[in-house]
């Protein structure tokens, strides 16, 4: 029940307990009845459905983050990356700032600050800076990094809105730095054949062939089980993937949607040449379910490490084959480029790659552009005006009269 308290000033303070049992003030009034009525009204409102503690938004962002962080359901690899972003960028800036004090302008200023942060220089760069006449090369955070860091901050505020701690997200849809146009590297078929010719082992040849011939991601290729390769239908079913961060097999690829892709005969032949003993289990932990077969590219035991394979196999092979800088992931881009240039639609390529959004596949749209000779051929009228004979002007007229050719 609400009550009043007479203050030394002679005024009356209305008091009540909210829905959570916390004592609160309804304000001060010159008359006791007014204080009592105000306190009773506040008390009744605090007990209605949907009422929220008005002090909730006064907590700091750091306090809210500690409450919100454990409730997130994300992959282990994503969690590790975002934990680093949180500790390196978000906590130093926002940990002690009350949620209710964060403004849209604060967000804009922080975006500008993030864009100017210098990336840690390499050891080689630090060594070059020891020279007095050397002009330092300063690299700042890439637009993609700024987008990810700020996106995590915005997500934390959106979660506060969902929890009815904040009425709105103050930094929602602020303009962020744009990423430069993608500079994907596409191998030609001649380049792939040159690369294949210098690979030392059949396993390495199968890895490269599988990536370029099916568009699988690295984790999908490493986690490919033998029973997912359908030789009769000439298809590969992409269901499991290996999660390096968690050190186990996940029951779904990126985007959490299984997919199937055609298995070219030449890729099937490369897989047949891999000397791995068939097994009833892959020897790796599965997050859910039971394992039914061994892995296509890995014998039981230690999983092939992506970074080690790149340094030990990939880079030396590129140098021998005379191919400029190319990443293993560019084999996936190459798969898409070969399909599109052969007439496969953008939509179908997106499905084969497992893209959750068609926007992701649009990076390859330029590969489907009609060649200039096809455009000119389509616009060719077959007859040019210059080929139509003309007579002199008729008497009394200034215009020429077209004369049909004989």
Query: Do 26 and 80 share a domain, yes or no?
Result: no
169 in a domain, yes or no? Answer: no
375 in a domain, yes or no? Answer: no
Query: Do 300 and 204 share a domain, yes or no?
Result: yes
pLDDT, position 385: 47
Task: Tell me the pLDDT tens digit for each residue of 339-352.
Answer: 998 889 999 999 99
pLDDT at 392 over 70: no
Chain centre to alpha carbon of residue 60: 29
286 in a domain, yes or no? Answer: yes
pLDDT, position 289: 85
Backbone angles phi, psi at 295, to 5 degrees: -85, 150
392 in a domain, yes or no? Answer: no
- Highest-scoring range by mean pLDDT, 6-20, 246-260, 316-330: 316-330
DSSP H helices, 226-305, are: 265-272
Contacts (Cβ under 8 Å, ≥6 apart) of 287: 243, 246, 248, 249, 250, 251
What mean pLDDT is reported for the chain?
86
Task: Tell me the pLDDT tens digit for each residue of 145-156.
Answer: 999 999 999 999
Furthest-apart CA pair in the chain: how many Å? 118
Chain centre to alpha carbon of residue 25: 48
Six-digit token string for 327: 């990443």
Query: Do 152 and 219 share a domain, yes or no?
Result: no
406 in a domain, yes or no? Answer: no
pLDDT, position 278: 84
Higher pLDDT, 382 or 24: 24
| Angle between helix 202-214 and helix 330-341 axes, rounded to 10 deg | 50
Contacts (Cβ under 8 Å, ≥6 apart) of 179: 142, 143, 144, 147
pLDDT, position 224: 96
Higher pLDDT, 106 or 400: 106
Residue the block writes with tokens 């035991």: 301
Query: Do 24 and 141 share a domain, yes or no?
Result: no
**Pairing mode, strands 241-243 and 248-250:** antiparallel
Query: Do 313 and 347 share a domain, yes or no?
Result: yes
Six-digit token string for 45: 């409102």
Six-digit token string for 352: 């084969």
In CATH, what number is assigned to the domain containing residue 235?
1.10.443.10
pLDDT at 395 over 70: no
pLDDT band for position 127 (50/70/90)? confident
| Final residue of a structural domain among 147, 162, 177 | 162
Contacts (Cβ under 8 Å, ≥6 apart) of 245: 75, 76, 77, 79, 80
Give the residue from 273, 287, 293 showing the smallest Cα distance to 227: 293
Q: Domain containing 37: what range? A: 3-51
pLDDT at 393 over 70: no
Cα separation, 270 vs 214, whole angstroms: 13
Contacts (Cβ under 8 Å, ≥6 apart) of 389: 402, 403, 404, 405
- For the sheet with 12-17, list strands across it: 3-6, 12-17, 23-29
If one counts the domains in the chain, the total is 3
127 in a domain, yes or no? Answer: yes
402 in a domain, yes or no? Answer: no
Give the residue from 113, 175, 169, 117 showing the smallest Cα distance to 141: 117
Residues paired with residue 24 on neighbouring β-strands, in sequence order: 16
Query: Do 219 and 322 share a domain, yes or no?
Result: yes
Query: Do 333 and 218 share a domain, yes or no?
Result: yes
Name which of 97-111, 132-146, 186-200 the model is least confident about.
132-146
pLDDT, position 18: 79
Query: Do 126 and 247 share a domain, yes or no?
Result: no
Query: Do 270 and 339 share a domain, yes or no?
Result: yes
pLDDT, position 16: 87
The helix/strand/coil state of 309 is helix
Instruction: Give the angle 349-355-356 at the CA atoms, nearest 5°.
Output: 135
pLDDT at 404 over 80: no
Q: How far is CA 239 from CA 199, 250, 268, in A?
A: 28, 9, 18
pLDDT band for position 111 (50/70/90)? very high
pLDDT at 317 over 50: yes
Query: Do 39 and 98 share a domain, yes or no?
Result: no
**Pairing mode, strands 259-262 and 23-29:** unpaired
Q: What is the mean pLDDT of residues 176-188?
A: 83
Cα separation, 241 vs 274, whole angstroms: 20
Cα separation, 173 vs 290, whole angstroms: 43
Q: What is the mean pLDDT of residues 19-46?
A: 86
Query: Do 133 and 211 share a domain, yes or no?
Result: no
Residue the block writes with tokens 């296509």: 296
Q: What is the mean pLDDT of residues 215-220?
A: 96
Query: Do 279 and 358 share a domain, yes or no?
Result: yes
Residue the block writes with tokens 């379910």: 289
- Highest-scoring range by mean pLDDT, 27-36, 133-142, 351-360: 27-36
pLDDT, position 369: 65
The helix/strand/coil state of 241 is strand
Q: How far is CA 334 from CA 76, 186, 377, in A?
A: 28, 5, 29
177 in a domain, yes or no? Answer: no
């Amino acid at each position: 029940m609400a009550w009043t308290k007479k203050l030394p000033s002679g005024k009356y303070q209305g008091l009540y307990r909210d829905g959570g049992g916390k004592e609160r003030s309804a304000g001060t009034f010159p008359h006791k009845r007014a204080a009592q009525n105000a306190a009773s009204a506040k008390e009744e409102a605090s007990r209605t459905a949907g009422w929220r503690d008005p002090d909730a938004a006064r907590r700091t962002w750091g306090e809210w983050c500690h409450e919100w962080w454990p409730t997130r359901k994300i992959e282990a690899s994503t969690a590790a990356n975002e934990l680093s972003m949180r500790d390196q960028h978000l906590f130093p800036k926002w940990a002690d700032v009350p949620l209710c004090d964060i403004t849209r302008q604060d967000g804009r200023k922080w975006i500008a600050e993030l864009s100017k942060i210098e990336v840690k220089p390499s050891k080689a760069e630090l060594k070059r800076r020891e020279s007095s006449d050397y002009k330092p090369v300063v690299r700042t955070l890439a637009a993609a990094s700024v987008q990810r860091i700020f996106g995590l901050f915005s997500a934390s505020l959106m979660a506060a809105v969902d929890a009815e701690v904040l009425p709105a997200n103050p930094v929602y849809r602020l303009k962020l730095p744009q990423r430069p146009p993608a500079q994907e590297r596409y191998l030609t078929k001649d380049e792939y054949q040159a690369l294949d010719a210098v690979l030392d082992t059949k396993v390495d040849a199968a890895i490269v062939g599988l990536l370029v011939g099916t568009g699988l991601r690295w984790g999908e290729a490493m986690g490919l089980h033998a029973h997912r390769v359908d030789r009769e239908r000439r298809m590969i079913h992409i269901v499991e993937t290996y999660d390096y961060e968690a050190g186990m097999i996940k029951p779904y690829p990126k985007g959490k949607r299984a997919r199937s892709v055609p298995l070219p005969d030449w890729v099937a032949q490369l897989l047949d040449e891999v000397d791995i003993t068939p097994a009833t289990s892959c020897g790796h932990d599965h997050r859910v379910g039971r394992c039914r077969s061994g892995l296509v590219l890995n014998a039981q035991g230690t999983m092939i490490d992506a970074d080690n394979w790149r340094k030990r196999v990939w880079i030396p092979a590129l140098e021998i084959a005379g191919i400029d800088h190319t990443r293993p992931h560019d084999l996936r881009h190459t798969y898409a480029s070969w399909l599109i240039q052969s007439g496969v639609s953008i939509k179908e390529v997106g499905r084969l790659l497992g893209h959750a959004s068609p926007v992701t596949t649009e990076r390859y749209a330029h590969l489907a552009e009609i060649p200039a000779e096809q455009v000119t051929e389509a616009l060719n009228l077959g007859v040019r005006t210059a080929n139509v004979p003309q007579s002199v002007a008729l008497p009394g007229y200034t215009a020429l009269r077209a004369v049909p050719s004989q």
